[in-house]
Chain A
Amino acid sequence: MAARYAQYKRTWYFLRRNTLAMVGLAIIILFAAAFVYGLTYPASSSTPVQYCASNGPVPVSPDNPCYDAPYIVCTYPSGTVSPGPGCYQTPPDNPNFIAPTFTLAHGLGAFPFGSLVYPSADLSTSDPLFYNTYTMLEKGTVNSVGLSVLIVATGAGVGLLLGALSGYFGGWIDEIVMRITDIFLSIPAILLVIAVIIVGKSSGLRSFDETLVLIGIAFVVVWWPFYARIVRSQSLVVREQRYVEAAKASGASNGRIIVKHVVPNSVYPVFVQMSLDVGTIPLLLAAITFIGFVLFPYPLIPEWGSVAAAGASILTAVFTECGVKGAVCAVPWWQVAFPGLAIFFFSLSVNFLADGLRDALDPRLRR
């Protein structure tokens, strides 16, 4: 066992020399902590929940103080008041509403802060849901990270199985599996995901949990071919190894060879790919939401991607508004900034780590 331990030590040694990878690891640990802590939040349900003046859930009702807190009203030099997204003022009739004079402490949600509004992705709905940054980030971590990890794990499992089979047996099995991967790889990911989700939704699966399941299915459908490809190329190499032939010569069944030799040898590259993809999925979710597709039913369950996307579209709206009418209005930049940064850092750290791993595991790329 000592030798095996030495191998790990070696990998760790090369990983440690890679500063970026270490940075990535640190950030990931932070996210992991946030994830664990976020689990203590009340499970998301389909009943409207909002986080406004306090971090705890408060039922939505018209007489709720910060119910009409949003940023809907715009003031123009002329003094006329007209509704339009992206601009805000302090409603005089709402004492609880704190004007978004923004400080770092607010952003981090150091104390309850009702007015940093994260609107529902569905801009058409008249009554958006509000979170303060802190809550958004917490729940976002839980949903985004949890979802990504789940998806990637499943996809990798399927890919590992099929890839190993096709690579090891070759012949017609290989042909079939590879053609199928070709098919799925040539359909752009986002489009396929949306298609699957839409079909699911239009056949009635619309609640939050159902949506989660749908998203999962859609992404797995899209994702497994990548892994199948990787594992296949690996097992093609392993298959030609003499030690596999030796195992055959002493009567090993194909199943045994796949389990004992092929799969273990394909694990590392798959792992690297997985860590890359975990970072990619929130991005795709964001993109999907951004182009206006309503992923989650109302109320919006915070998921970085969708929140950021919604914020970004408001940003653009603000620009057009202010640009055209030359209005004096501040830009609610934080609505993009925080979820965006969350995605950015998560994906970035994961990539750092993955790349470091690749270098450390691949002797050719070692420095």
Chain B
Amino acid sequence: MQMWVYVVRRAALVIPVVIGVMTVLFVLISALPTVERTCSFYHPSGRTSPCTTQIPCSTDPSKLCPNPVYQSAVNALGLNKPIFVQWAIYIGNALTFQWGYVAQGSALGTGETGSGLPSLAGQSVATVLSEFLPYTIELALLALLIILVVSIPLGNLSAVYRNRPIDQASRVMSFSGYALPAFLLGSLILAGVTFALGGPAAPSKICGGTSTVFLDFYGSWPTPPCTPLYGTANIGPVGYPAWLSIGYISTPTGFPTVDSAIHGQYWLALDTLLRLVLPALVIAYTTIAGLLRFVRNSMLEVMNQDFIRTARAKGLPEQTVIKKHAGRNSLNVTITVLGLTFAGFITGFPVVEIVFNLWGVGRIYAYSVVGGVNDWDFGVLFGTTLLFTYLVVAANIIVDIMYAYLDPRVRLG
């Protein structure tokens, strides 16, 4: 079977999965009370939310609601049509990124997130997420890099030097990674670094001034006095995170470091990148934990195979036997497992972004579920869930293709 056939088929397999995911979400959504649905999934004007005034309508949706906004919402979502029509409508919306709008009542809507984030009420969920996605992607890429660089060599080593100190060390590492909650690890590292550099109150090492060491690691952006862009309010349209009240620059790519570099603010770029290192480490640590044992065990399995014996019998040096013959074979397993754990990997983002006070999709998600019943923002909530699912699916496709590339049995299968 040619490669492209394989790729196309693998991609085709995604369709049912994606549809299925949407269906699951649809089932959940349609279990919501009517008003919650209308608040966040349909927004006629794009500015004001129908919910705040129309709560009474929710008490019994069947009764014709006087409010035209509410009524039009019901029509637009097809709430008065048979269920499968509603389903079709939802699928359509989900595929076309019409994921609803930030509700006014929610924390995001009122801007009571305590993070300087202005009220996003009425903004389209997709837009908000798209603005924050690049931050998360940067973090993810860094974390993935760390994961691959650490887990594969370490796993192989601990298989080769089985039950010797290095194996034990990696074992302890992986278990502690399993057992340490990400938020705990994060706060500990944060606290540790802070105190190592002179405690929370000590002045910043990077830019001095009133900023503190703690703030050098806390948050996506340096605090105002350090920002070379400070005061340059006349640059470009809104795009550079406006809620950091430090002026405006254009963001061609949306990726903070890249943009800063583009604007020639290399120091800012570096600073932004440095702020990603600790969180990336935290995420990587927890993911590596899951990966390490698999790598080791698969390596052990491969080392028992006949062809390893053959390689030795051919008189190849042990290094070649391990690196080439065993390593390449166990790499397949590693990649597959990485694909499987990707969902878990992504799940780590909300927590870490909260701990380190980073901008990103995860943090927005956290804000959408914060607080009590009336603070929830269903649009953002389900929108983020969709987004993350898309990411996972995409990752799995990539993994499978890589696998096929690495293993001729699959490629030519």
Report how many A-B pairs have Cβ atoms within 8 Å.
190
Which B residues between 15 and 31 are near A, CB-CB below 8 angstroms? 16-17, 20-21, 24-25, 28-29, 31
Residues of A within 8 A of B396 (CB): 186
B224 beta carbon closer than 8 Å to chain A: no
Check B21–A185 contact: CB distance below 8 A. no
Please count how many residues in chain B sit with their CB below 8 Å of the partner chain's CB atoms: 68
Which B residues between 341 and 392 are near A, CB-CB below 8 angstroms? 343-344, 346-347, 350-351, 354-355, 357, 365-367, 369-373, 376, 378, 381-382, 384-385, 388-389, 392
Residues of B within 8 A of A203 (CB): 31-33
Contact with B along A316-334 (1 / 0, CB 8 A): 1001101110110001000
CB contact between A287 and one of B20, B181, B393 (< 8 Å): that residue:
B181
Please count how many residues in chain A sit with their CB below 8 Å of the partner chain's CB atoms: 65
A12 beta carbon closer than 8 Å to chain B: no
Check A319–B194 contact: CB distance below 8 A. yes
In the assembled complex, how far is the CB of residue A308 from the closest CB belonging to chain B, in whole angstroms? 7
Check B351–A287 contact: CB distance below 8 A. yes
Q: Given the known A-B contacts A291-B354, A315-B191, are A183 and B200 also in contact in the complex, defined by CB atoms under 8 Å?
A: no
Cα distance, A45 to B142, chains bound together (Å): 46
Residues of A within 8 A of B350 (CB): 190, 287, 291
What are 11 pairs between A and B in contact, CB < 8 Å? A186-B392, A191-B385, A194-B369, A279-B178, A286-B183, A287-B183, A290-B181, A292-B370, A319-B214, A327-B201, A331-B191
Check B201–A365 contact: CB distance below 8 A. no
B150 beta carbon closer than 8 Å to chain A: no
Cα distance, A352 to B36, chains bound together (Å): 45
In the assembled complex, how far is the CB of residue A190 from the closest CB belonging to chain B, in whole angstroms? 5
In the assembled complex, how far is the CB of residue B290 from the closest CB belonging to chain A, in whole angstroms? 10
Q: Which residues of B approach A to under 8 Å, CB–CB?
A: 16-17, 20-21, 24-25, 28-29, 31-33, 36, 162-163, 171, 175-176, 178-184, 187, 190-191, 194, 200-201, 212, 214-215, 218, 293, 297, 300-301, 304, 340, 343-344, 346-347, 350-351, 354-355, 357, 365-367, 369-373, 376, 378, 381-382, 384-385, 388-389, 392-393, 396
Check A187–B381 contact: CB distance below 8 A. no
Check B344–A195 contact: CB distance below 8 A. no
Cα distance, A280 to B388, chains bound together (Å): 21
Residue of B nearest to A193 (CB): B347
A13 beta carbon closer than 8 Å to chain B: no
Residues of A within 8 A of B176 (CB): 344, 348
Cα distance, A203 to B5, chains bound together (Å): 47
A20 beta carbon closer than 8 Å to chain B: yes
Residues of A within 8 A of B347 (CB): 188-191, 287
Cα distance, A30 to B382, chains bound together (Å): 41
Check A316–B355 contact: CB distance below 8 A. yes
Contact with B along A333-365 (1 / 0, CB 8 A): 000100010011111100110010000000011
Check B181–A365 contact: CB distance below 8 A. no
In the assembled complex, how far is the CB of residue B14 from the closest CB belonging to chain A, in whole angstroms? 9
Residues of A within 8 A of B351 (CB): 287, 290-291
Check B366–A291 contact: CB distance below 8 A. yes
Check A315–B187 contact: CB distance below 8 A. yes
In the assembled complex, how far is the CB of residue B182 from the closest CB belonging to chain A, in whole angstroms? 6
Check B178–A348 contact: CB distance below 8 A. yes
Contact with B along A16-27 (1 / 0, CB 8 A): 000010000000
Cα distance, A202 to B357, chains bound together (Å): 28
Residues of B within 8 A of A316 (CB): 187, 190, 355, 357
Residue of B nearest to A304 (CB): B181
Residue of B nearest to A350 (CB): B179
A294 beta carbon closer than 8 Å to chain B: yes
Residues of A within 8 A of B300 (CB): 364-365
A124 beta carbon closer than 8 Å to chain B: yes
In the assembled complex, how far is the CB of residue A163 from the closest CB belonging to chain B, in whole angstroms? 16
